[in-house]
Amino acid sequence: MYSYKFLWLNLFLVVFMNISVFSQEANHTSEEQAKIVEAKDIPLDSLAKDMEGVEQMEPLKTSNAIHDNSLPVVTIGDKKSYDLKDLDIAAKYDSLWMKELYESAALFDEMYEMVSELDTTTVVENTLNTDTLKLRLERLNQKTPFNVAYNPSLENVIKSFLVRKRGFIERMLTASQFYFPMFEEQLDKYDIPLEMKYLAIVESALNPRARSRVGATGLWQFMYGTGKMYKLDVNSYVDERSDPIKSTEAACKYLSKLYGIFEDWDLALAAYNSGPGNVNKAIRRSGGYKNYWNIRRNLPRETAGYVPAFLATMYLLEYADEHGLKAKKVDRNYFETDTVHVKSLISFDQISELVGIGVEELKVLNPSYKLNIIPYVEGKEYTLRLPRADMGKFVANEEAIYAHVKEQLKSQESPLPQLVKADDRIRYKVRSGDYLGKIAARYGVGVSQIKRWNGLRSNNLRIGQRLTIFTRNPVIASKSASKGAKTVASTSKVPASKIHTVKSGDSLWTISQKYPGISIENLREWNGISGNNLKPGTKLKLCNCSS
């Protein structure tokens, strides 16, 4: 009885203290709104934190900013930046975590090649004891509805991943902390095994903007037709196959349908990859077997490696601690973000300018917007996803933000960024000696943009190939090749260092992205590399030079 009285006394004191604090803050409100706020008196946001010499700032507005459609501005010389404040400032987003998510997008090519060229026959030396592996696989088999049975082929795949793809698996352990809670919620809703979350690693390496060479897109790699079947909208602005929540729900519906056909999760996985028709053919050719391992030799090559890759991935993530696989610990997951329905067309650049969140961060959180623009269409619901700390700033100043964007659009020739104007679209024909870095430098765009505009999965180009490029500074096509070459030579940046030391998780693609003007083909030629495998510690030359 005494403990209950003590608890109520504590609760009363907490409430009383909070009311007192609130009253004290309310008494000072009018004074605080009336004075000019100096830079040193406020916590600067990510746009302004490195700026010095702030002369003055307009009075900080809270609810008034909403009604008079004005926005707090920091003046630095003749430049202005916006300093929106949330009504309840929360902890800032972890930039290192966002960097990890953004960079993990490059691993899709590695996973795609891993599955399509999977070798289940080569024995890889590893300290993993076969008897130990059998016991662990049996435990997995008992707790999942998949047929997780030991066989030498699966052992070879697991050992190969442990030796050759260790860095990749650790990157997936990190990125999975962001997406897996959301996957599990949807899988549970549709009564699908929660372990099916590992399928997104095999499909896309957890890259919502992943695009295969045949056009499959998103975390769950939907083809255009299948996406439409499950109401995933694809248009000039939006590709909902890249929307994490909508595509996950569509994947759950599709997997449920496949399980309803085959009544076996292994066969449902195989059908997800190659289509139910190919699985049915394999069953017929095998003489009526319905166990995946019995029909595997009759499946398409890529599907033959698909289920082993899934089972190996599931095993390694379930037994990561036992194999010393370490993930970077993150402070939050996907649900520590929030969404708001947009009420006006708005670009990522405008959101970045006003809210103080980086454009690259917006791309990661809102991957379904193809042109970095959130459109407004009557009858459609398009959402903006932000970290909770920044969502408050957006919502608290929403009317003022839309008024500001409207004024900006009025002052432009077109309500859309110049990037998408028809006059600025170029059809470029690939010539001998061209590579993506060279073409990107010539037109002042990014390699990733050219790949996205043209649905390119890798950096490889062929002579005569046509590329669509949107640029604000188009180069006249009639210029001679020699002049074009001079332009590239004068604008391309030479890396400060001529050597790159390979780190765990590096690939030729990720290294080429770090050094503008350098392609995968350059790295192979300059370093005598024929394949894609790199060993940590290897020194790679970044120029056609002797040292």
Residue range 112-160, pLDDT digits in tens: 666 766 666 666 667 789 999 999 999 999 999 999 999 898 999 999 8
Q: Which residues contact 345 (CB under 8 A, 6 or more apart)?
A: 373, 374, 375, 376, 405, 409, 415
pLDDT at 55: 39
pLDDT at 417: 46
Q: For the chain, list residues with pLDDT below 50.
A: 1-68, 86-97, 414-415, 417-424, 472-494
Domains in the chain (CATH in brackets) are 89-323 (1.10.530.10), 337-412 (no CATH), 425-470 (3.10.350.10), 501-541 (3.10.350)
Tokens describing residue 192: 């699908």
Q: What is the pTM of this model?
A: 0.60
pLDDT at 280: 95
CA distance 401 to 410: 14
Q: Which residues contact 138 (CB under 8 A, 6 or more apart)?
A: 148, 150
Taking only the tens place, the pLDDT of each residue in 518-533 is 777 778 778 878 667 7
Distances (CA, A) of 396 to 133, 190, 392, 490: 55, 36, 6, 47
- Ramachandran area for residue 452 (φ above 0: left; ψ -120 to 50: alpha; else beta): alpha
Residue 89 one-letter amino acid: I
Q: Which residue has the tokens 């099916």?
A: 196
* Beta bridge pairs of residue 337: 387
Going by C-alpha positions, the residue among 86, 547, 13, 74 that lies closest to residue 355 is 86
The SS3 call for residue 381 is coil
Residue 360 one-letter amino acid: E
The SS3 call for residue 359 is helix
Distances (CA, A) of 247 to 20, 35, 221, 233: 48, 50, 9, 10
CA distance 458 to 212: 9
E strand or H helix at 337, and its extent?
A: strand 337-341
The SS3 call for residue 270 is helix
Q: Is 223 exposed, middle or buried (0-12, 13-18, 19+ CB in 10 A)?
A: middle
Q: Are 437 and 513 in contact (CB under 8 A)?
A: no
Taking only the tens place, the pLDDT of each residue in 319-362 is 999 999 988 876 556 667 889 999 989 999 889 888 888 888 88
pLDDT at 420: 41
CA distance 187 to 170: 24
Q: Where are the alpha helices (DSSP H) in 190-330?
A: 199-204, 224-229, 244-262, 265-274, 276-285, 292-295, 301-304, 306-318
CA distance 306 to 320: 21
Q: Are 165 and 171 in contact (CB under 8 A)?
A: no
E strand or H helix at 58, and its extent?
A: none
Report CA dihedral (150, 153, 158, 163) to the nearest 10 degrees.
Answer: 140
* Secondary structure of 236-268 as H, E, C letters: CCEEHHHCHHHHHHHHHHHHHHHHHHHCCHHHH
Tokens describing residue 544: 């056609």
